[in-house]
Structure 1
């Protein structure tokens, strides 16, 4: 009888070294994103949106570490929106936040009932849920004077969103590291913009965050975003490093090599005259162009004296 060999677990010291290296890498990547995009400045009141997932836990944890050594002074408040989902463990986040001594606030708004009532069974809930959640958080930020709203989206989210918009919405747009809300009242920042999701998962496990799964829409397997995620995962499996390459491409845009006349003046490119160009209607109608004046050909003819004369 063959018995399976026992493989000893790595020594704890090795785990600690790896965890320290990972924490250092995340601090560097988050600090670089903050500096590259001017996410946080002196005197900012930063509202960190905490969902209970690995991404927002990691965001809060790294920002608290950077706050201690930052060249500017800023405050951090963790804000969670309790959407009244059945079975949501309301005690988990308050207990964790008190244990680390961070300022926090729990908003209570029954968006679950609204989404469940409005969205037909089997349809995607994410869009409406996201709008309601965003509205509640924006309102809270305005009422309490927060100058920045920090979200836990990471590098993979940004690449995923780019392809989601490309494949399903026919536009080249994504999830920017920093943006101004449509009403111009809020600045949203994504300090995890340079961080890999795999690193966040490893960091969350090493730190032992009390993860709360989202049961509202987690069972909807046919979401467009999940389709894109599966595609990217397959690409990464076939060619490791491809997602990183695509993420870098999002920061290296060449408008002259795309096809948007609003971003690049294609009309002026290579023009040799200031004459107005015909509009699209003329091209589509196939209107003939004005005929070019034809020059008369002159032919030399000899007279009786043998001299050349010009004859048309």
Structure 2
């Protein structure tokens, strides 16, 4: 997928849900994975011509795993003149050694978000961009349905009252396969997650289940996504309600 196509999807999501305003300082949470790096490059390109002027800052929370190499990401940010902050933490040790959590993802996510939000406020940012794409939206809704018994997923724009930050998700109109196509085409330096729990989660089960359903019913993920947009879920009806 070309950068122009990625830009088109990102700009459409930004405009449909009013994600960016004049003077925004936007932190992009960089895990090193394909999604966050695609988002960073797309927003960097968008800011060059978008009518509302905004600035971006890349931020990585280093969980403390020994084998995480961020040098290529540092080089990528430097080549695009994007300020890059790495927040050093001991989250991995706390979760896997001290606490020996049976469900490590929940505690890790909570601690990671806390460290990320503190760093973002120190940078003077008012917004944070998360790299959730269309597949993430659908998978989260299915997780909620299967394991919580409710119809719920994250919204395109979320205001965090406790921190005063606003979360935006500009990749929601992109499919995961398109993200993969983009990083392969442009040889984006993706860093594999060193987390031992990576790929062994309920989300991974839901992802595989949806792939199976999609093979038997092509287009089902897109139809679920449209149902989410039209289903009066919090934050999603803003766009359809105004058209």
Superposed pair shares fold, TM > 0.5: yes
Q: Quote how far apart the aligned CAs of 1:111 are.
A: 0.9
Counterpart contact for 1:154–1:192, Cα < 8 Å? yes
Counterpart contact for 1:126–1:217, Cα < 8 Å? no
Secondary structure in structure 2 of the residue aligned to 1:80: strand
Equivalent in the alignment of 2:7: 27
Counterpart contact for 2:57–2:82, Cα < 8 Å? yes
1:147 maps to which of 126, 149, 155: 126
1:130 maps to which of 109, 132, 152: 109
Alpha-carbon separation, structure 2, partners of 1:99 and 1:220? 31
> Whose radius of gyration is greater, 1 or 2?
1
The TM-score normalised by the length of structure 1 is 0.71
Equivalent in the alignment of 1:114: 94
The 4+ residue runs of structure 1 with deviation greater than 4 A are none
Alpha-carbon separation, structure 2, partners of 1:44 and 1:203? 26
Q: Which residues in structure 2 correspond to 1:187-206 (within 5 Å)? A: 187-206=166-185
Equivalent in the alignment of 1:77: 57
Secondary structure in structure 1 of the residue aligned to 2:162: coil
Q: Quote how far apart the aligned CAs of 1:85 are.
A: 0.5
Q: Cα 1:219–1:250, aligned 2, differ >3 Å: closer, same or farther? A: closer
Equivalent in the alignment of 1:240: 218
Alpha-carbon separation, structure 1, partners of 2:58 and 2:124? 14
1:94 maps to which of 66, 69, 74: 74
RCO higher in structure (CA 8 A, sep ≥6): 2
1:48 maps to which of 20, 23, 28: 28
Equivalent in the alignment of 2:230: 252
Tell me the matched-pair count. Answer: 233
Secondary structure in structure 1 of the residue aligned to 2:229: coil
Alpha-carbon separation, structure 2, partners of 1:24 and 1:215? 31
Between Structure 1 and Structure 2, which shows a larger proportion of helix residues? 2
Counterpart contact for 1:115–1:129, Cα < 8 Å? yes
Query: Root-mean-square deviation (CA), in Å?
Result: 1.7
Secondary structure in structure 1 of the residue aligned to 2:48: helix
Q: Per-residue CA shift, 1:41-66, capped at 9, x if unaligned?
A: 00000001111100001001111111
